[in-house]
């Protein structure tokens, strides 16, 4: 679920054999995925690719350091509070201008909060009516302030991907999610909280005085794909009373239905040591749900080792936490099973679940068949649920891994976005 580093190459030159799955294929494949099958695939996964994430450098706040923000928070979510030029070293190719913004939103405790983000505008003059807006939902970087995406250089993959959309004439707003570089803890994989940050970032852009259109869509990868799907489900409701016109979502590497497996976690499950990446994601989930739901007494389920890992996850960015957990066994984190929580599945689903119904705009799902960060059964099981609920989606499968899916999907997601954003 992290933004892997890759060798830079223009997206237009990349190739990936995509397969747009039929409805029959979606249901037959995903419907056959039992809990045991999904568990086996998750447990048997190896670390994705051979890419090495660089160490996290000190953050560059572009003159807008709001980690200790104590000013009044506007009662209306999505209110732009401040904007400053983004440090040039943090911009991306294809951007005519870039800004760092601070805006109001709603956090995981359903309280007024603030979030930051970066806004990138294309080079040149905006078309009549303004540039359509893409809200970018980023993947796993960590939940500590030093990990804030708008204060760090973008990964090569994310830089390539966002630059592609800028060259296509879209403005991009990239939320950090509330709690990353702002007071509080970023609520990792908390779908509703992340959805607020995404939708409210688009509201804030509309107040910047830049030529953007009413039409907007969402794009997200990995952790961000789950956030994007939640935002897609809630976008119409969250923008009611504004003139914003939400059109649809592109989600690649979507971590759906992971609560089905997570609910089984404990001192004896999974039966094998997980790959380091999945262990790292588990640490972030434990830290996030512990903070968001103190009533659950997550610490009471954890060993001293587990509590120390959750404490470290609150601070360490992905490369550093992954390095610290290279030999860790997630089973040693638990003194009691997660199932000791009453209605454990329901609790986890409400926190990290991906909705399977209630969408009112088109959905693009992209998934790599050899993805080991978010194994294919995750997205395929979601596709089966969407199909059963007659949701407006299309599924594209690619013979590639987690990061490769971002590149491979562009040949299909580009016309998808052109179509939904051009419709009147």
pLDDT value for 29: 41
Q: What is the pLDDT of residue 423?
A: 64
Average pLDDT over residues 300-307: 98
- For 151-202, how does the pLDDT look when each residue is reduced to its tens digit (9 = 90+)? 999 999 999 999 999 999 999 999 999 999 999 999 999 999 999 999 999 9
**Cα 350 from Cα 192, distance rounded (Å):** 9
Q: What percent of the chain has pLDDT over 90?
A: 86
Residue with tokens 């779908």: 191
Distance CA 14, CA 106 (A): 38
Res 5 pLDDT > 90: no
CB-side exposure of 320: number of CA atoms within 13 Å? Answer: 17
Q: Give 55's contacts (C-beta < 8 A, 6+ positions apart).
A: 319, 320
Helix axes 376-388, 23-31, angle to 10 degrees: 120
**Annotated domain spans of the chain:** 80-256+355-422, 267-352
Task: Please write the tens of the pLDDT for every residue from 19-30.
Answer: 444 333 333 343
Q: Is 313 helix (H, G, I), strand (E, B) or coil?
A: helix
pLDDT tens per residue across span 227-254: 999 999 999 999 999 999 999 999 999 9
42 burial level (CB within 10 Å; 0-12, 13-18, 19+) = buried
Q: In what side-by-side order are the strands of the sheet with 393-398? A: 19-20, 393-398, 363-368, 245-252, 212-221, 131-137, 171-175, 112-122, 95-106, 80-85
- Look up residue 181 and give its two tokens: 């570089």
Instruction: Calculate the average pLDDT of the chain.
Output: 90
Confidence of residue 54 (pLDDT cuts 50, 70, 90): confident
Q: Which is more confidently placed, 166 or 52?
A: 166
- Whether 7 has a pLDDT exceeding 60, the answer reads no
pTM exceeding the 0.85 threshold for the entire prediction: yes
Q: What percent of the chain has pLDDT over 70?
A: 87
Please name the CATH architecture into which domain 80-256+355-422 falls. 3-Layer(aba) Sandwich (3.40)
| Phi, psi of 81, deg, nearest 5 | -100, -45
> Can you give the pLDDT at residue 2?
59
Q: How far apart are CA 150 and CA 86, in angstroms?
A: 8
State mean pLDDT over 310-338: 98
Smallest Cα–Cα separation from 48: which of 377, 408, 407, 370? 370
In the prediction, which pLDDT does 424 show? Answer: 61
32, 38 in Cβ contact below 8 A?
no
At residue 36 the predicted structure's pLDDT band, cuts being 50, 70 and 90, is very low
Task: Judge contact between 286 and 262, C-beta under 8 A.
Answer: no
Helical (H) or strand (E) element with 417: helix 402-422
d(CA 235, CA 245): 9
Give per-residue pLDDT as tens, 105-138.
Answer: 999 999 999 999 999 999 999 999 999 999 999 9
Which residues, including other chains, have CB under 8 Å from residue 273's CB and lie 6 or more apart? 279, 329, 330, 331
Other Cβ atoms within 10 Å of 17 Cβ, number: 10
Between residues 107 and 14, which one has the greater pLDDT? 107
Instruction: Give the separation between CA 91 and CA 269, rounded to whole angstroms.
Output: 43
As a whole number, mean pLDDT of residues 207-216 equals: 98
- The half-sphere exposure of 242 on its side-chain side, counting CA atoms within 13 A, is 24
| Residue that has been written with the tokens 């993947």 in this structure | 139
Q: Are 381 and 37 in contact (CB under 8 A)?
A: no
User: Residues with Cβ < 8 Å from 134, sequence gap 6 or more?
Assistant: 165, 170, 171, 172, 173, 216, 217, 218, 219, 417
pLDDT at residue 44, as a whole number:
38
Instruction: Decide if pLDDT at 1 tops 80.
Output: no
If one counts every other C-beta atom within 10 angstroms of the C-beta of residue 35, the result is 12
- pLDDT tens, position by position, 72-93: 999 999 999 999 999 999 999 9
Q: How far apart are the first and last CA of the chain?
A: 35
> 10 Å Cβ neighbour count for 51?
18
Residue 285 has pLDDT above 80, yes or no: yes
């Amino acid at each position: 679920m992290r933004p892997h580093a890759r060798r830079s190459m223009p997206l237009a030159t990349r190739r990936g054999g995509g397969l747009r799955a039929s409805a029959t294929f979606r249901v037959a494949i995903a419907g056959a995925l039992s809990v045991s099958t999904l568990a086996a695939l998750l447990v048997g996964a190896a670390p994705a690719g051979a890419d090495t994430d660089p160490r996290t450098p000190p953050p560059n706040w572009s003159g807008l350091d709001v980690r200790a923000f104590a000013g009044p928070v506007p009662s209306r979510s999505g209110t732009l509070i401040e904007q400053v030029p983004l440090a040039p070293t943090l911009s991306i190719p294809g951007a005519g201008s870039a800004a760092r913004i601070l805006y109001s939103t709603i956090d995981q405790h359903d309280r007024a909060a603030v979030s930051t983000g970066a806004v990138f505008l294309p080079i040149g003059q905006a078309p009549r009516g303004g540039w359509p807006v893409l809200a970018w939902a980023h993947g796993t970087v960590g939940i500590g302030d030093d990990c804030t995406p708008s204060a760090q250089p973008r990964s090569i993959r994310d830089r390539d991907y966002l630059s592609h959309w800028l060259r296509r004439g879209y403005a991009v707003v990239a939320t950090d999610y509330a709690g990353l570089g702002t007071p509080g803890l970023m609520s990792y994989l908390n779908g509703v909280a992340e959805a607020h940050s995404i939708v409210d970032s688009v509201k804030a852009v509309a107040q910047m005085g830049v030529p953007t259109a009413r039409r907007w869509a969402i794009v997200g990868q990995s952790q961000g794909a789950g956030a994007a799907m939640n935002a897609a489900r809630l976008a119409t409701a969250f923008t009611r009373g504004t003139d914003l016109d939400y059109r649809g979502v592109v989600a690649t590497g979507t971590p759906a239905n992971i609560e089905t497996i997570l609910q089984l976690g404990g001192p004896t499950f999974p039966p094998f040591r997980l790959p380091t990446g999945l262990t790292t994601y588990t640490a972030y989930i434990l830290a996030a749900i512990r903070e968001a739901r103190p009533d659950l007494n997550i610490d009471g389920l954890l060993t001293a080792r587990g509590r120390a890992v959750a404490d470290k996850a609150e601070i360490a960015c992905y490369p550093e936490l992954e390095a610290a957990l290279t030999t860790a066994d997630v089973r040693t984190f638990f003194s009691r099973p997660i199932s000791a929580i009453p209605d454990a599945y329901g609790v986890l689903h409400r926190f990290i679940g991906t909705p399977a119904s209630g969408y009112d705009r088109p959905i693009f799902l992209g998934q790599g068949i050899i993805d080991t960060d978010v194994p294919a059964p995750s997205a395929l099981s979601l596709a089966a649920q969407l199909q059963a609920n007659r949701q407006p989606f299309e599924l594209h499968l690619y013979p590639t891994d987690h990061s490769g899916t971002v590149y491979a999907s562009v040949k299909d997601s580009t016309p998808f976005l052109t179509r939904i954003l051009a419709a009147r």
